[in-house]
């Protein structure tokens, strides 16, 4: 069965992909040295600008390998409720008073969340998600 992908992966596209694989093989990253090497290769491709299909395929695959390494060796803890709320308020350019009034959340509740004395409740998450126009999963990470 021939797919559209295989028809684009011929000639120059295939050659550029194979050149990249020969220069820096696509395999699990197991050391900091390999990790840094992979980052250098990705940086070089990104700086190049417009990539052909073979280069894009290679960059996508290498990015997946780097992400897997980072997830294991450099995990990022979820943001606290206070940090998330602070970020959303800053991005929208609203004060505690504006947020309280416009989202119909008690000002004391907003203050307690920002002071890390209180966590998001399901009701607060729904109001904040509606107010900031984000999916509830963005705010529900710590539930």
CATH code matching the domain that covers 81-142, chosen among 3.40.50.2000, 1.10.260.40, 3.40.190.10, 1.10.1240.10: 1.10.260.40
Instruction: Sketch the domain layout of the chain as residue ranges.
Output: 4-73, 81-142
- Show the 3-state SS of 73-136: HCCCCCCCHHHHHHHHHHHHCCCHHHHHHHHCCCHHHHHHHHCCCCCCCHHHHHHHHHHHCCCH
pLDDT at 125: 94
Which two structure tokens, joined as six digits, stand for 71?
A: 């997830």
pLDDT at 93: 96
pTM of the model: 0.57
pLDDT at 77: 82
pLDDT at 101: 95
pLDDT at 14: 87
pLDDT tens string, the chain, 143 residues long: the values are: 444 555 677 788 888 999 999 999 999 999 999 999 999 999 999 999 899 999 999 999 999 999 999 999 998 888 899 999 999 999 999 999 999 999 999 999 999 999 999 999 999 999 999 999 999 988 887 55
């Amino acid at each position: 069965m021939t797919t559209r992908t295989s028809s684009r992966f011929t000639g120059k596209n295939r050659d550029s992909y194979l050149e990249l694989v020969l220069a820096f093989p696509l395999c699990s990253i197991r050391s900091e040295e390999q990790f840094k090497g992979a980052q250098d290769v990705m940086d070089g491709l990104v700086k190049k600008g417009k990539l052909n299909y073979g280069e894009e395929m290679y960059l996508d695959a290498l990015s997946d390998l780097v992400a897997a390494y980072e997830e294991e060796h450099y995990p990022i803890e979820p943001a606290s409720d206070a940090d998330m709320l602070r970020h959303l308020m800053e991005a929208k350019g609203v004060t505690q008073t504006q947020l309280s009034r416009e989202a119909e959340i008690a000002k004391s509740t907003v203050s307690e969340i920002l002071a890390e004395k209180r966590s998001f409740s399901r009701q607060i998450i729904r109001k904040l998600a509606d107010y900031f126009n984000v999916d509830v999963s963005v705010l529900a990470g710590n539930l």
